Structure 1
Amino acid sequence: MNLKDQVALVVGGASGLGAATARKLASLGARVAVLDFNLEAAQRVAAEVGGAAYACNVTSAESAEQAIAAARAELGAARVLVNTAGIAPAAKIVGKNGPMPLDDFRKGIEVNLVGTFNTMRLAAAEMMKLDPLEDGERGLIVNTASVAGYEGQIGQASYAASKGGVIALTIQAAREFAQVGIRVCTIAPGLFETPMMAGLPENVRASLGASVPFPPRLGRADEYAKLVAMIADNVMLNGETLRLDGALRMQAR
């Protein structure tokens, strides 16, 4: 897909992987809508890329519906959706203080999996109404999983389960939307420089980066964004989850 003059929704676009993706898509000529729970931060990114910002709580049907409708009214119907919003709650299934509170597990599923499904269902419904491009493509959805969806570490029960769900949803959604020309792919990053990592001490960050086989460092947000652009450019990429991890395979701890 040629992104010039196409509307792209970047959910979780106020920081990290989402902000880098907003910048990359804008550089390729897309009109970018930045959707995020943090409206002030989203507005800063939108101003930088010449786009627009909208408050969006991905766990709320009403909030997502309103944000996507507002983006459509201001920028036009979107052909691209990139989901990057997520949280990484850490807790053992059974820890020192007993079983993990059920609501703690549920929160990760709600944001990472239900939130992804929420925006995907709404954006896809709009894409179906668009005229197909020259190759028959009507839209592209790129979701974000994690290597934890394959190799969840101890303490990542909610995170791993939610990201595994996003991975499983990829081929199902791609098959369902194939008949109308909407592609669905997922990126599963490894250890990346994101706001989730920012709070760790520098020596811990360096140690984590050194655990990556090659390149032996944390991934950069712009490297994620480049992969989103590559997926958009190559129409044959569909129904796939692409690991972006420098050959990392997570250990149990």
Structure 2
Amino acid sequence: MNLDSSLSAVVTGGASGLGAATATALRALGVKVAIFDKNPETGERKAAEIGALFCQVDVMDEASVDAGFAKARAAHGQERVLVNCAGGGRPGGKTVSRNKETGAIVRHKTEDFEWTLGLNTVGTFRCITAAAAGMLTLDPLSEDGDRGAIVNTGSVAAQDGQIGQVAYSAAKAAIAGMTLTIARDLSSEGIRVNTILPGIMATPPMLSVRERAPQIWQSLNASVPFPRRLGHPEEFADLALTMLRNGYFNGQVVRLDGAIRMPPR
């Protein structure tokens, strides 16, 4: 797929971090980009900065997602590219633990588990079905029958979940696990699907650690085998663009982590 001004793209979570870097990289190639994000302040700012369209979207809400795609398509036409970067988690703790002061047994809150899966897994799937349904209305771009491409964001926590990460690990593992199935589901329609599992990336939440706790920041950098630093969002964007461009890249889950393997804690 040639990434140029003839194409439209939607990037969820595109106001900051990995999504913002990907939206910026796509715009640099001339692709018409719609940024989906909950935060209107950062979203409008990023969109104005790179010449994109901002759509205030909550990926956990079906009507919000549908309205976002409608707005993006009215401005740019039907997208052929979707990059899912919206996600996150809540501090949930262990599956079951003991209160350090009282010794009381504490269960992980099911509602927090469901919320994390709702944001990451269900939110990603919701946007995939909306985008893919639209892509099916397009004619193929090439003799291969290429109609579009989707890139999802997982995490190395999908494979190396640390203590206290049960909900986040499950949510990201589900994204990784459904990648090949969705790629196979959409194969007859010429839509490719791949997923990136980032390691420790220098996104705004992590950059705040550098200011609050420089020793922890240094330790995080030292934990990466090579290069001994956090990943740059631009490196994520570069891999996403490769997955979009390369027509034989399909059904893959790829770690982007400097060879790190996360310890239990």
TM category, shorter = over 0.9
- 1:126-183 deviation digits (Å, cap 9, x = unpaired): 0111110023210010000000001100010110000000000100000000000000
1:117 aligned residue (125, 146, 151): 125
Question: Aligned to 2:184, what secondary structure does the other structure show?
Answer: helix
Q: State how 1:55-134 maps to structure 2 within 5 Å.
A: 55-90=56-91, 91-97=93-99, 98-134=106-142
- RMSD over aligned CA atoms reads 1.0
Rounded Cα–Cα distance in structure 1 between residues aligned with 2:204 and 2:34: 21
Any gaps of 5 or more consecutive residues in structure 2? 100-105
1:190 aligned residue (183, 195, 199): 199
Question: TM (normalized to structure 1)?
Answer: 0.98
CA shift, 1:202, in A, is 2.3
Q: Which residue of 2 aligns with 1:4?
A: 4
Question: Aligned to 1:9, what secondary structure does the other structure show?
Answer: strand
Rounded Cα–Cα distance in structure 1 between residues aligned with 2:242 and 2:228: 23
Corresponding letter in the other structure for 2:139: D
Any gaps of 5 or more consecutive residues in structure 1? none
Question: TM (normalized to structure 2)?
Answer: 0.93
Q: State how 1:1-253 maps to structure 2 within 5 Å.
A: 1-5=1-5, 6-90=7-91, 91-97=93-99, 98-134=106-142, 135-200=144-209, 201-253=213-265
Rounded Cα–Cα distance in structure 1 between residues aligned with 2:55 and 2:78: 15
Rounded Cα–Cα distance in structure 1 between residues aligned with 2:94 and 2:207: 22
CA shift, 1:89, in A, is 2.2
CA shift, 1:195, in A, is 2.4
Question: Aligned to 1:242, what secondary structure does the other structure show?
Answer: strand
Rounded Cα–Cα distance in structure 2 between residues aligned with 1:131 and 1:54: 26
Corresponding letter in the other structure for 1:88: G
CA shift, 1:194, in A, is 1.1
- The number of residue pairs the alignment matches comes to 253
Structure index of larger Rg? 2
Residues 150, 244 of structure 2: 8 Å contact kept: no
CA shift, 1:104, in A, is 1.1
Percent of aligned pairs sharing the same letter: 47
Which 4+ residue blocks in structure 1 deviate beyond 6 angstroms? none
Deviates more, 1:63-72 or 1:81-90: 81-90
Rounded Cα–Cα distance in structure 2 between residues aligned with 1:87 and 1:205: 20
